[in-house]
Amino acid sequence: MNTQQPAAYEQLRQHFQKISHFEHFAALGDWDQATMMPAGGSDSRAAAMAELAGHIHQLKTAPNLTDWLSEAEQQLSALTLPQQANLREMKQQWRHASCVPSSLIQAKTAAAYQCEHQWRQQRPANDWQGFKANLQPLLQLVKEEAQARADAEGVAPYDALLAQFEPGMTAARLEQTLGSLRDWIPTFIQQIHERQLPAVASNDAQRYPIARQQDLGKEVMHFLGFDFQQGRLDISAHPFCGGVPGDVRLTTRYDEQSFLGALLGIIHETGHARYELGLPFAWQGQPAGLARSMGIHESQSLFFEMQLAGSQAFVDKIYPLLKRHLSCHQSAAELHQQMTQVQPGLIRVDADEVTYPCHILLRFEAEQSLIDGSLAVSDLPEFWDQRMQHYLGLSTKDNYRDGCMQDIHWAVGEFGYFPSYTLGAMYAAQFRFAIEKQLGPLDTLIQNDKLAKVFDWLQQHIWSQGSLLDTDTLVRQATGEPLNPQYLRRHLQQRYLR
Amino acid sequence: MNTQQPAAYEQLRQHFQKISHFEHFAALGDWDQATMMPAGGSDSRAAAMAELAGHIHQLKTAPNLTDWLSEAEQQLSALTLPQQANLREMKQQWRHASCVPSSLIQAKTAAAYQCEHQWRQQRPANDWQGFKANLQPLLQLVKEEAQARADAEGVAPYDALLAQFEPGMTAARLEQTLGSLRDWIPTFIQQIHERQLPAVASNDAQRYPIARQQDLGKEVMHFLGFDFQQGRLDISAHPFCGGVPGDVRLTTRYDEQSFLGALLGIIHETGHARYELGLPFAWQGQPAGLARSMGIHESQSLFFEMQLAGSQAFVDKIYPLLKRHLSCHQSAAELHQQMTQVQPGLIRVDADEVTYPCHILLRFEAEQSLIDGSLAVSDLPEFWDQRMQHYLGLSTKDNYRDGCMQDIHWAVGEFGYFPSYTLGAMYAAQFRFAIEKQLGPLDTLIQNDKLAKVFDWLQQHIWSQGSLLDTDTLVRQATGEPLNPQYLRRHLQQRYLR
């Protein structure tokens, strides 16, 4: 190892450290907006956030970077392996920021702003015509963006969009992995339906005070190893995990008539939060110190929510906490049954883990076709209805609000994100079986209060790796093989057809 | 009026708008740090705030500004009067930022950081020797800063420090105004003591739950016209009013054994908040749209706390709210007696409105002598003890913690700020008599639920003026005369010797 870093690398390191300081305020502004900001603050916040985003973009495309990056690459052997990884990530951030012309970014931002803004009214009003009129020009700009990214990366347009969230992932690989669930899941749902007990009737009169749910949530977070010296739990309309290293802030929303949604939401976000808090400290503020990808991020939240909390052993473990905070009269077994009920529905965010991949497959297919032009926006509702019938036997005819208008992603111009959700579920299952190989059954670990061992495994193999490895290497080093969808199938079979 | 603005002015306008967007995040970071941030966030917040402060300083001293400012000044007649005022304020911000060399700013920031950091332990430990060792080099740097500012402004060093908080104010004018209280107050305290009823005994067993105090505080804020769509009330160790236009955030701290401190704190901060929310909307993000000075700011908080809340009429008005939220068994008259009890004490922040100016006079005298070199840091405790004996008949011998180590101001290198507090009290009293001349007695307005008229007067004469006028003009237009300390004397005489 060379003790003298090349000057160009050091310049880059300092430059990206500076960027991270400004990103600190973007994260704070986002969190505050969702949790604390009164309505009167929105205009000045929007203007300030736009200024900040422009400044960060300027820093990421600063003219100096081109020289520093090529100079540092010429002196690659003078860098340690982690430094080389950091350089690779810097270059990727730079390329992502600089390969799309500013004028296009601005046009897309404006179109997305209008589309999202109106979507908030159009969706409840089931106003497809109105939404379509905004989505069409927005999609056109996204296609231009995809082409610009594709040219820079030397890949196909949809793959270039995927790469923003899941570097290294391609539509072809998604077809092999995600696509392998396509024929299997509808049959599997059939099998479950033949054996599944009827849903537990809920008690409509029951009320669960929010303050009590909050206390319960905090205790469960503590049980999951969350350190409140390094984060917070708050309320927002849409649950998320934000903040910065050392200060990770998660949110949930509460329903006084049912505690399960908020509780599972908290567990899910705690998975994201522990990942963020476990990122390599020495690389804080550097691209190599960031979370690997959206799919890996989602794998951690789904590991917590599905692999851990979805088991009877986990429910048994937290049941006494639940009884202490809430007057819950289901038994632990009834609660688990409720949590693992499989029921096809129209809404992705309400879907159980078995039907969820169908929602993603549908969107993955639609996105590709929208981007390559084989599907027109005006044909989207019919496409949606047809695929929903195929996957889940449900119709969305004339029901745009619960069909292709249900998600915010396309309304803000985000195409290529959806596959991350099911990639996350697949990675989570694969990690689970790798952990069991090494530490024994997860249920036994939970029963014997050995969850810390599981977290140690995740810390060592996933969290502390940040972006030091590419996703494939990370997964191979952690599990001995690349992404393999068989593990999700095996997990679902074990849980639902036992 | 010329419809075509000179190009240089427009450049400046845009540049200062940009600065305000970054200052938005400085305000958010400050507020969050005091109210929400977990301990684990402090390192990355400190680094991000330092980066942001550096960026803002860079923007305020950008090389272009020199040309734009002189070009715009040459085209002064092409600007409207408010634009001319804005230009004046821009120039002042630029001069304040650029007249001190960066190396000196950095050295002072580092010395102040160390001094404050250690003061937090040294004060409770009564460690004067330790504090002195940090204050001496810090004062040296402040003197250098004062000299640099003095050279740029063409005024005396202490006046240059004052100008940061109270543009236009000088030690000589303070001597005329503030100084006129010097001989009067000690005698006045004597007179009060001869007539004052003994203090109402407090009920030590009584507890006032924080949630109830918070609800009461919000109701009183509402009564004072605070719009919760444009702000918040939270908890912090040291009460303050922060945030940005349209989103003003105030804080207080609660004591379960006594509600009065938190309640008066909320009323005080509500005065600051209404000033901020009433600033001229058309000038948002521009220097002319900012609050006029610290003294005028303090006049608004003290108007709310002392002129309004300190009256029997106000206590009578909010008494039903108080009874609704808290089990308070004092009568409204006893409460008012408690609020207007005069009792010399060692601590400035705990002082009543009569003895408060003595604390400021002492500090004003000490600051001037420290800056002009006639008082050495090592002689400060003796000076303090001697002046406290003179003003309030109290000794601080060997009690540094409740003497010259009690305030944070000097520990962070802030000299010239203290006079703002009593300037605020003097302005508040002057505004009160101007309002009464026009609208009749304040007590009658409160009794007849006509407080909105008082707020309208403040909105028109103070809040909506921002920094469009200089302080003297503002005060003269509002009250018909320049700052006149007789009004504070008259107010105190009316309230305490009636």
Same domain, A51 and A154: no
Both structure tokens of A419: 């596959």
A193 lies in a domain?
Answer: yes
Q: What is the DSSP letter of A255?
A: B
Number of domains in chain B: 2
Same domain, B20 and B149: no
**How does the average pLDDT of chain B come out, rounded?**
95
Domain final residue, candidates A64, A98, A132: A98
Whether A1 shows a pLDDT value over 50: the answer reads no
- Cβ distance B41 to A228 less than 8 Å, yes or no, reads no
**How does the average pLDDT of chain A come out, rounded?**
95
How do residues B314-353 score in pLDDT, each as one tens digit? 999 999 999 999 988 889 999 999 999 999 999 999 999 9
Judge whether A257 and A208 are in contact, CB under 8 Å: yes
Bridge partner list, B251: B234
Find the closest chain B residue to A45 by CA distance. B24
State whether residue A234 is helix, strand or coil: strand
A105 lies in a domain?
Answer: no
Find the closest chain B residue to A52 by CA distance. B22
Same domain, B149 and B278: yes
How do residues A15-44 score in pLDDT, each as one tens digit? 999 999 999 999 999 999 999 999 999 999
Domain final residue, candidates A56, A75, A98: A98
B120 lies in a domain?
Answer: no
B460 lies in a domain?
Answer: yes
Give residue B223's pLDDT. Answer: 98
Q: Per this entry, what is the length of chain A? A: 498
Q: Per this entry, what is the length of chain B? A: 498
Give residue A4's pLDDT. Answer: 58
Integer Cα distance of A435 and A433 in angstroms: 5
CA distance A33 to chain B (A): 11
Same domain, A60 and A140: no
Model pTM score? 0.94
Whether B498 shows a pLDDT value over 80: the answer reads no
Helix A184-195 to helix A380-392 angle (10° resolution) is 50
Same domain, B453 and B494: yes
- Which among A52, A227, A232 is the nearest to B25, CB-wise? A52
The arithmetic mean of pLDDT across residues B183-210, rounded, is 89
B214 lies in a domain?
Answer: no
Whether A205 shows a pLDDT value over 60: the answer reads yes
- Looking up tokens 């996350």, which residue turns up? A424
Interface residue of B21, B234, B244 to substitute, partner A, most A CBs within 10 Å: B21
Whether A326 shows a pLDDT value over 50: the answer reads yes
Strand residue runs (E) in B189-315: 231-235, 241-244, 247-252
**A231-235 and B247-252: which strand pairing?**
unpaired
Residue A227 contacts by C-beta under 8 Å, 6 or more apart in sequence?
A277, B40
B18 vs A contacts (CB less than 8 Å): 51
- Cβ distance A243 to B41 less than 8 Å, yes or no, reads yes
The arithmetic mean of pLDDT across residues B3-25, rounded, is 91
Give residue A2's pLDDT. Answer: 44
Is A46 an 8 Å CB contact of chain B? no
Whether B199 shows a pLDDT value over 90: the answer reads no
Same domain, B278 and B365: yes
Q: Which of A286-290, A469-473, B101-105, B447-451 has the lowest mean pLDDT?
A: B101-105
Same domain, B19 and B90: yes
Of these residues, B89, B145, B166, B269, which one is catalytic? B269
Nearest CA to B167 out of B26, B68, B297 is that of B297
- Cβ distance A45 to B51 less than 8 Å, yes or no, reads no
How do residues A114-143 score in pLDDT, each as one tens digit? 999 999 999 999 999 999 999 999 999 999
Domain final residue, candidates A98, A129, A158: A98
Give the range of the structural domain holding residue B325, as residue numbers without chain letter: 128-204+259-498
Give residue B4's pLDDT. Answer: 58
Q: What are the backbone angles phi and psi of residue B241, rounded to the nearest 5°? A: -125, 115
Is B230 an 8 Å CB contact of chain A? yes
Output b/e per residue, B147-178; b: 16+ Cβ within 10 A.
bbbbeebebbbbbbbbbbbbbebbbebbeebb
CATH code at A407? 1.10.1370.30
A444 lies in a domain?
Answer: yes
Active site residue B10: no
Same domain, A239 and A132: yes
B107 lies in a domain?
Answer: no
Same domain, A92 and A165: no
- Which among B25, B227, B244 is the nearest to A25, CB-wise? B25
Give residue A201's pLDDT. Answer: 77
Same domain, B192 and B320: yes
Confidence grade of residue A347 (pLDDT, cut at 50, 70, 90)? very high
Same domain, B183 and B63: no
- Looking up tokens 């926006």, which residue turns up? A377
Confidence grade of residue A5 (pLDDT, cut at 50, 70, 90)? low
How do residues B231-272 score in pLDDT, each as one tens digit? 999 999 889 999 998 999 999 999 999 999 999 999 999 999
- Cβ distance B41 to A284 less than 8 Å, yes or no, reads no
Same domain, A79 and A123: no
A11 lies in a domain?
Answer: yes
Give residue B2's pLDDT. Answer: 43
How do residues A213-248 score in pLDDT, each as one tens digit? 999 999 999 999 999 999 999 999 889 999 998 999
